[in-house]
Amino acid sequence: MSPGKELIKGFYTENPVFRLMLGLCPVLATSTSVNNGIGMGAATLFVLVCSNVVISLIRKAIPAKIRIPIFIMIIATFVTIVDLVMAGFFPELHESLGIFISLIVVNCIILGRAEAYASKNNVFYAFIDGLGMGLGFTLSMILISSIREILGNGTWLGLEVFGSGYNPVLLMILSPGAFFTIGLLMSFLSWFEGRRSSCVTNF
Amino acid sequence: MDMHSLLVISVGAIFISNFVLHRFLGLCPYIGVSKQLDSAVGMGMAVIFVMTMASVATWLIYHYFLSPSPLNILFRLLMRGQGEPPDLTYLRTIAFILVIATLVQFVEMVIQKLSPGLYRSLGIYLPLITTNCAVLGVSLLNINEQYSFIESVVNGFTSGLGFTLALVLMAGLREKLELAQVPRSMHGAPIAFIIAGCMSLAFLGFSGLKF
Amino acid sequence: MKDVMRFAFILTLTAAVTSGSLAYVNSVTRPRITARQNAEMKEALHYVLQGSEKGIIESVFQNGEIVFYKGYQKPDKRDLIGYAFVASGQGYSSEIQTMVGVNPQGKILRVRILFQQETPGLGTRCEEIRKNESVPWWQRQFQGTDAQSIKVDKDGGAIESITGATITSRAITESIALKTKIVLQKTDQKDN
């Protein structure tokens, strides 16, 4: 187990969104603009790293039978911290993400990593795992929100991409656009993987 | 009771801002449990039940324990109604998720004891519901929209109904899809998302409904 | 039995530690959040009731809740500028709150949207600011109109609705007209 490998596995091979299909609700709901996407990604990253570290620290003291409620309490604490800090320092982001900040607590990635990784590994690896998975999630958020914002609004992070003559595909910003984007991206990924594996078997 | 506002909430929750297709809540079971019609109906019933119960429980918890109102039970017992009621609303995420987890466990035990038949059809779906964001989502929405108790219960029930509607429609489509020729890269989740997109597009037509 | 006691103890301990740390974070951030909200409110009031910075803004209560504000040019409550109030209406995906300033005759002075969670790129354009301008173009068209009778163009009014966001435009416009009627009725009663 090398730290480097553990860090980058979340980017592609075990990408939480496209591969493990975890935490899709916030991905679809808050990817309407790159700004929101980055905000949501960063919030999830913070909660993931913190809860992984704390759970790994106290993993030997938690009885197996009551581990889930304890994990949930720890995760909910960090989510509330993010919520309060965001309300105090980034009010506009807090307004546009709405209840999805509180809903990080039921994001399956976080409980999933706590259960599958942090409760079995030491603090250093738990930290690396949280960081890698969180970054993988954030990158997926940025990818999806970029596609939706560029096509649906003609802008990227608020900067005009196509010039004023572009007539935006409003559908991409509305809810169907989210489903189409993720469906097509997943299908592209599966096509790409299919090609890669058939190349490997040919050789 | 104002029937009109309840009707507006119901139609809004089922059609206009459908939990799955508009608010993007509860997608994991929507994609995961929509392969067969039977299990979709079972899951839908379990979600309706838990969402209604959760709306009741979290509304009571919020208004009698967390919110800074003179009704706050902690305020009346511990401080004997003196001074300012404490504002514990920052504990709402942690309180709600624990209440929901306990509630689901409790409902599971009760159903198992009282009605083994119902347990066989709903039981396996109940543990999955704890981490379903639709349940926590409806609880938080009830608070954010400042719904009264009755409105919260109606919103919980009809949101569950909207979820079930989307889930059952999806399951019906996916059963038919088994027979269709789908490109290999589209198998499984990708085609499910594309269908969900089309359904969401159709549901957009409900927006602007007025009473 | 021993296990149950131990589990209960551990769970209680976790709950105590987590809520304790949250209480601490809350005590640090809460003043900042309230201060920010108050500052935002004050800024909006001064914006919609221009000239009230040097004067005074008085809150009018009913049943313990603020119904509207009165803005004066002078600190000793002389020279009434007009009334300000928050109008809220159900938009496409959120409850939109708008701060409105009207003069005593019911003509709109200025409006500012305080809260909205509408669809980005559509409904959110109600707050869009064009290049080299400082005021959102959509909100500017309310200035000088008769607040009680405003309507969007699709309903035969003068307010140009945002392309693709008629629901948002209509919600804001109707909420302003409705609340103005309520507020002006109250002020009439008071003055008589």
> How confident is the model over B1-29, as pLDDT tens digits?
578 889 988 988 999 889 999 889 988 88
- Report d(CA C172, CA A106) in Å as an integer: 34
For residues B35-48, average pLDDT: 86
C65: which residues sit within 8 A by CB, 6+ positions away? none
Model confidence band, residue A150 (pLDDT cutoffs 50, 70, 90): very high
B161 vs B45, higher pLDDT: B161
Q: Decide if pLDDT at A202 tops 50.
A: no
A148: which residues sit within 8 A by CB, 6+ positions away? A31, A32, A33, A172, A173, A177, A178, A181
Residue whose C-alpha is closest to residue B125's, from B43, B10, B19, B11: B43
Q: Which amino acid is at C102?
A: V
pLDDT at C192: 44
C134 vs A144, higher pLDDT: A144
Question: What percentage of chain A carries pLDDT values higher than 90?
Answer: 55
Chains that touch C (3 or more CB pairs under 8 A): A, B
For residues B178-194, average pLDDT: 88
The string of DSSP codes covering C104-167 is TTSBEEEEEEEE----TTTGGGGG---TT-SS-HHHHTTTTSBGGG--BGGGTSSBPPPTT-HH
Residue whose C-alpha is closest to residue A190's, from B79, B184, C63: B184
pLDDT at C185: 87
Cβ proximity of B80 and B188 under 8 Å: no
Q: What is the pTM of this model?
A: 0.89
Which DSSP state fits B14?
I
- Report d(CA A115, CA A101) in Å as an integer: 21
Query: Domain boundaries in chain A?
Result: 3-202
Q: Decide if pLDDT at C98 tops 70.
A: yes
Question: In chain C, positions 142-171, which contact chain A (CB-CB < 8 Å)?
Answer: 164
Judged on CB neighbours under 10 Å (0-12, 13-18, 19+), A68 is middle
Tokens 């569950």, located at residue? B160
- Report d(CA B58, CA B149) in Å as an integer: 10
Query: Domain boundaries in chain C?
Result: 46-191
> How confident is the model over A116-134, as pLDDT tens digits?
999 999 999 999 999 999 9
ipTM: 0.89
SS3 C45: helix
For residues C131-155, average pLDDT: 89
For residues B166-180, average pLDDT: 91
> Chain A closest CA to B26's CA: distance in Å?
7
> How confident is the model over C15-51, as pLDDT tens digits?
999 999 999 999 999 999 999 989 999 999 999 998 8
Q: Which residues of B touch A77 (CB under 8 A)?
A: 94
Inter-chain contact B94–C93, Cβ cutoff 8 Å?
Answer: no
Interface of A with C (CB under 8 A): 32-33, 36, 61-63, 65-66, 69-70, 73-74, 76-77, 80-81, 84-85, 87-89, 91, 95-96, 98, 149, 152-153, 168, 170, 173-174
Mean pLDDT of chain C: 88
Residue C132's CB: how many other CB atoms inside 10 A? 5
Disruptive mutation site among B90, B142, B146 for chain C (greatest number of C CBs within 10 Å): B90
Mean pLDDT of chain A: 89
pLDDT at A77: 95
pLDDT at A126: 95
- Report d(CA B6, CA B158) in Å as an integer: 10
Q: Which residues of B touch C25 (CB under 8 A)?
A: 90
Residues in chain C: 192
Inter-chain contact A84–C33, Cβ cutoff 8 Å?
Answer: yes
Cβ proximity of C68 and C60 under 8 Å: yes
Q: Decide if pLDDT at C102 tops 90.
A: yes
For residues B174-190, average pLDDT: 87
Model confidence band, residue B131 (pLDDT cutoffs 50, 70, 90): low
Cβ proximity of A70 and A164 under 8 Å: no
For residues C68-76, average pLDDT: 89
